[in-house]
């Protein structure tokens, strides 16, 4: 007599909404929360779920920590001595690939074949930074318009909105911190103080041949250059090569053609201002990576591409753990030491204008609010004698008087040239029309305004060392990071 073993009960594989629908749909907030709960049930010893707070409309903002060492709190994770990598997704909720990739990684790193990576890393995932925008799902959002070079090949079920439910563009809000979601992220970032931060986007800028473009902070004049140089010259090229080798997906540094219609016109990047997350994190001296999947490949290919880049980043950081931690820690030590012993030619490149709404809702800029060019920054020791303090006070008063004079650059700034469509990367400086925005927002009185951008000025990007004292000019001569300087003035 023969018998075969009784068939195993059928356990449906754990799939994300995108996987389950053949990439026809992306996950809603409830799908994300439900999926996380399911993975957590299967791998309680490798995963903790916490919350970074609530969105403006009261949706929970989950944070998932993956570790094999019980390193589920910031203190425990830093004690464990492994690099901490924080990954943020869906800050622009029409750019959903990172969210889908992070959900799949949660599964594959706890109960799947990627488990061994957790031996070498602590991972902190934010799958849904903009849950209110995410659930305003529509096929009209980021709709493909090749004529205008906008939108993307969407999943047929549609995607969320770029801005939050309240109308904030979170990737312009890092300095002003006006959105509750920005506050939640800043608090979480400060608590965890990760060595590496990755931010996931999708770009609908110039037509090019890359499946993904990447970048790191540009704030080398104000932030510590160590982490910027490391990510730019070592980590990103190595990751890009590995993705090409293993997945045949192409990557390159983020940018757009100077003239969208002419690829020969040059490849230019966006201003190094800390209203953008990457540059903000550059100022904090940690390693930052921006990922921009290419809008014009299909949704499934985009998820595959960003997953490939994330995986190679995890592998690189795991394989270079000592180097990565040392780079971040050295920047931290240097920065603290510089703060304790300030020098007269220390340079802090902060230059911004103040924005207000005109009666028709238009954004108008008054700037410069703070003088920067032709202004001497006086630094004296705290224990300095009275005369020095008096001189410092006089210098500050002179600066203020000068700042109040009408600026000779007035009328030549951002409002004139900086936002010209043909000179700025569309993805980063898009200004929605009133009608466009009103249509996108289902709740609206405040949504009737155009995109609520924080303020920015291109002058910082165009700022040349000739305005500095000779000694500072010498010290700040662009070396290996010179390539970060914009190729041309935006004035
Ligand atoms: Zn984006």
Task: Annotate 305-326 with b (16+ C-beta within 10 A) or e (fewer).
Answer: bbbbbbbbbbbbbbebbeebbe
- pLDDT, position 271: 79
Q: How far is CA 394 from CA 10, 144, 404, in A?
A: 80, 57, 15
Residue 461: other Cβ atoms inside 10 A: 24
Domain boundaries along the sequence of the chain: 17-337, 349-484
What pLDDT sits at residue 45? 95
**CA 393–ligand 1 middle distance (angstroms):** 43
Task: Compute, in angstroms, the gap from residue 99 CA to the centroid of ligand 1.
Answer: 13
Q: What topology is assigned to 17-337 in CATH?
A: Aminopeptidase (3.40.630)
pTM: 0.73
**Ligand 1 center to 481 CA (angstroms):** 25
Which of 167, 146, 98, 148 lies closest to 426, judged by CA?
Answer: 148
| Better-predicted residue by pLDDT, 362 or 386 | 362
Mean pLDDT of the chain: 78
Q: How far is the CA of 413 from the centre of ligand 1 (A)?
A: 24
Q: What is the largest CA-CA distance in the chain?
A: 106
How remote is the CA of residue 221 from the centroid of ligand 1, in Å? 25
Distance 203 CA to ligand 1 centre (A): 7
Spacing, Cα 163 to ligand 1 middle (Å) = 10
Q: List Cα–Cα distances, 315 to 3, 47, 309, 318, 388, in angstroms.
A: 46, 19, 10, 5, 53
Distance CA 415, CA 419 (A): 6
Q: How far apart are the first and last CA of the chain?
A: 89
Whole-number pLDDT of residue 149: 77
143-164: per-residue pLDDT in tens?
998 788 789 999 999 999 999 9
Q: What tens digit of pLDDT does each residue of 247-269 get? A: 999 999 999 998 888 899 999 88
Ligand 1 center to residue 395 CA distance, Å? 42
Count other C-beta atoms under 10 Å from residue 70's C-beta.
12
The Å distance, Cα 199 to ligand 1 centre, comes to 9
Reported in sequence order, the residue ranges of 189-272 that DSSP labels E, i.e. its strands, are 196-203, 212-215, 251-253, 256-259, 262-268
Per-residue pLDDT reduced to its tens digit, 380-412: 433 444 444 455 556 555 655 554 444 333 323
407 C-alpha to ligand 1 centroid (Å): 33
* Alpha carbon distance 414, 405 (integer Å): 19
Q: What is the pLDDT of residues 207-231, one digit of tens each?
A: 899 999 999 998 776 789 999 999 9
127 upstream amide cis, omega within 30 of 0: no
């Amino acid at each position: 007599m023969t018998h075969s073993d009784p068939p195993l009960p059928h356990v449906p594989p754990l799939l994300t909404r995108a996987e389950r629908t053949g990439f026809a749909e992306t996950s809603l907030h409830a799908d994300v929360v439900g999926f996380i709960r399911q993975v957590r049930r299967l791998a309680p010893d490798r995963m903790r779920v916490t919350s970074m707070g609530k969105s403006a409309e009261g949706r929970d903002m989950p944070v998932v920590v993956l570790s094999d060492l019980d390193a589920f709190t910031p203190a425990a994770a830093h004690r464990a001595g492994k690099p901490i990598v924080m990954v943020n997704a869906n800050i622009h909720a029409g750019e959903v690939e990172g969210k889908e990739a992070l959900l799949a990684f949660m599964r594959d790193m706890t109960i799947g074949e990627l488990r061994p990576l957790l031996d070498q890393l602590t991972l902190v995932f934010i799958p849904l930074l903009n849950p209110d925008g995410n659930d305003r799902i529509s096929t009209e959002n980021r709709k493909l318009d090749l004529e205008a070079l906008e939108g993307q090949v969407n999943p047929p079920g549609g995607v969320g909105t770029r801005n939050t439910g309240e109308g904030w563009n979170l990737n312009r809000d890092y300095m002003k911190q006006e959105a509750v979601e920005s506050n939640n992220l800043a608090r979480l970032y400060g608590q965890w103080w990760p060595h590496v931060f990755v931010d996931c986007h999708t770009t609908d800028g110039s037509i090019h041949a890359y499946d993904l473009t990447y970048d790191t902070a540009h704030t080398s004049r104000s932030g510590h250059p160590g982490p910027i140089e490391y990510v730019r010259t070592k980590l990103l090229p190595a990751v890009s090569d590995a993705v090409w080798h293993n997945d045949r997906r192409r990557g390159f540094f983020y940018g757009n053609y100077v003239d969208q219609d002419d690829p020969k016109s040059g490849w230019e990047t966006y201003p190094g201002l800390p209203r953008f997350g990457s540059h903000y994190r550059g100022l904090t001296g940690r390693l930052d990576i921006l990922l921009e999947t290419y809008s014009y490949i299909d949704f499934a290919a985009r998820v595959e591409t960003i997953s490939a880049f994330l995986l190679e980043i995890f592998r690189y950081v795991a394989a270079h753990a000592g180097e990565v931690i040392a780079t971040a820690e050295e920047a931290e030590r240097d920065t603290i030491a510089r703060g304790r012993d300030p020098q007269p030619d220390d340079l802090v490149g902060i230059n911004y204008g103040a924005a207000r709404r005109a009666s028709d809702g238009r954004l108008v800029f008054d700037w410069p609010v703070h003088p920067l060019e032709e202004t001497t920054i006086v630094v004296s020791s705290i224990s300095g004698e009275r005369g020095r303090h008096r001189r410092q006070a006089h210098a500050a008063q002179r600066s203020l008087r000068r700042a109040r004079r009408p600026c000779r650059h007035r009328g030549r700034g951002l409002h004139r040239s900086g936002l010209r469509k043909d000179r700025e990367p569309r993805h980063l400086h898009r200004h929605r029309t009133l009608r466009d925005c009103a249509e996108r927002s289902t709740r609206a009185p405040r949504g009737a305004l155009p995109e609520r951008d924080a303020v920015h000025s291109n002058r910082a990007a165009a700022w040349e060392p000739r305005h500095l004292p000779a000694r500072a000019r010498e010290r700040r001569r662009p070396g290996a990071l010179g390539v970060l300087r914009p190729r041309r003035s935006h004035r």
